[in-house]
Every structure is written in structure tokens, then in C-alpha cells.
């Protein structure tokens, strides 16, 4: 189990793509969120879930785990291919919830990566293509007004492709503006 995951870097994109290929054609069987608050309502906005620490996607006996990760000033999404979240986290099974119910039993057919940079180019988000649907996992949070916003120490799971595209484009533009500043 990786307790201190590192953000995935653009330099690792080939290896990351290769590892994801082992999951293509596999059926999604379970989804687990790792939160700190046992009473957290992950679904505060339609078609978006918020996750404190990590999430696991189970494809039969194979696991994909996504964590937010910070390495110095570098903020990014970490991907690991192992089971296990710390026991101090609340593990919530999500496969039967309204957002995930439609993905149960679907096959992973592809993966799209979104990168961002300040010092190094790091993974901001991943869109998983599951048969005829998609779900995006990215760094972020939902603010008090219900808008998606960049937050390096939380994850959002976006079930609406248009919202995911707009969010990822806005964060990439924000990060580019900060770099030029």
C-alpha cells in the first residue's frame, strides 16, 4: 500500500498508458471512496462527487487507486495499481449509489489524461471511458455556490462529460496563467 503517493508526471505517461492497457476490457465491479469524515455526503452537487483522500476502482481482481498527491510544491493526481487504503479513513462502497449505479458491469474501453504544470508537468485528471459512458477523476472541490474549483488536496468525480471538459480546461488555463505570472 502506498501511504505517500507521488504525483504522476508527464515523463511517466508512456508507462502509465501501458499499465492502464491491462485494465481495458475489464468489467467495473466495485468503487470505494476513502474519506476522513464518516458523515461526509459525497454528492452535494448533481453529477459530481467529492472525495477527501482517495478512491479505488475494482475491475475484478485488478485495482486502480487514485489519490491527490503533493511533492514539495508539485500538486498532482497519483495513480497506483494496488489495493488498500489506511484503516483510519472511512471506506465507503459507492457502486450502488445513483451516480455509480449506471457504471456497474461496464467495461473499461479507454483512458484520457489531462496534464497541468507549474514547475513540472503533472497529472491533473483522468477520464475513464466505460462502454458508452465516461467518468472523470481530478483534483478539485465544489465551492459553497456549487461551482467546481481547483483544490490540490481533494478529488472530484465528475459524471457529466461537458462539466468535466469545462472544468479541466479552466484549471489548465488557470495553471498556465499562474506560470506566466
Reply yes or no on whether the pLDDT at 44 is more than 80: no
Give the pLDDT score at 109: 96
Taking the chain, what is the end-to-end CA distance rounded to the nearest angstrom?
38
β-bridge partners, 131: none
**Model confidence pLDDT, tens digit, residues 5-30:** 778 888 888 999 998 999 999 999 99
Give the pLDDT score at 179: 45
Domain ranges of the chain: 10-180
Least confident of 65-69, 73-77, 88-92: 88-92
Comparison of pLDDT for 45 and 99, the residue scoring more: 99
Residue % of the chain over a pLDDT of 90: 34
pTM to 2 decimals?
0.88
Give the pLDDT score at 72: 81
Hey, is 13 helix, strand or coil?
helix
Rounded Cα distance between 125 and 136, Å, is 7
Give the pLDDT score at 25: 96
Q: Mean of the pLDDT values across residues 160-167?
A: 90
Comparison of pLDDT for 10 and 87, the residue scoring more: 10
Residue % of the chain over a pLDDT of 70: 83
Rounded Cα distance between 121 and 123, Å, is 7
Identify the helix (H) or strand (E) that includes residue 169: helix 161-180
Give the pLDDT score at 118: 62
Residue 119's pLDDT band (boundaries 50, 70, 90)? low
Residue with cell 475484478: 60
Amino acid at each position: 500500500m502506498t501511504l505517500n503517493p507521488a504525483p504522476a508526471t508527464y515523463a511517466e505517461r508512456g508507462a502509465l498508458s501501458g499499465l492502464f492497457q491491462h485494465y481495458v476490457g475489464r468489467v467495473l465491479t466495485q468503487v470505494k471512496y476513502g474519506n476522513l469524515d464518516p458523515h461526509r455526503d459525497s454528492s452535494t452537487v448533481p453529477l459530481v462527487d467529492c472525495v477527501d483522500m482517495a478512491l479505488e476502482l475494482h475491475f475484478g481482481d485488478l485495482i486502480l487507486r487514485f489519490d491527490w498527491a503533493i511533492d514539495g510544491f508539485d500538486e498532482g493526481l497519483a495513480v497506483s495499481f494496488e489495493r488498500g487504503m489506511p484503516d483510519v479513513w472511512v471506506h465507503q462502497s459507492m457502486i450502488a449509489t445513483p451516480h455509480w449505479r449506471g457504471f456497474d458491469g461496464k467495461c473499461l474501453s479507454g483512458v484520457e489524461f489531462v496534464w497541468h504544470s507549474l514547475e513540472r508537468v503533472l497529472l491533473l485528471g483522468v477520464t475513464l471511458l466505460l462502454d458508452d459512458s465516461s467518468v472523470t477523476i481530478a483534483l478539485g472541490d465544489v465551492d459553497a455556490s456549487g461551482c467546481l474549483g481547483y483544490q490540490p488536496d481533494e478529488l472530484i468525480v465528475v459524471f457529466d462529460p461537458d462539466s468535466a471538459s469545462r472544468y479541466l480546461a479552466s484549471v489548465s488555463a488557470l495553471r498556465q496563467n499562474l506560470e506566466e505570472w
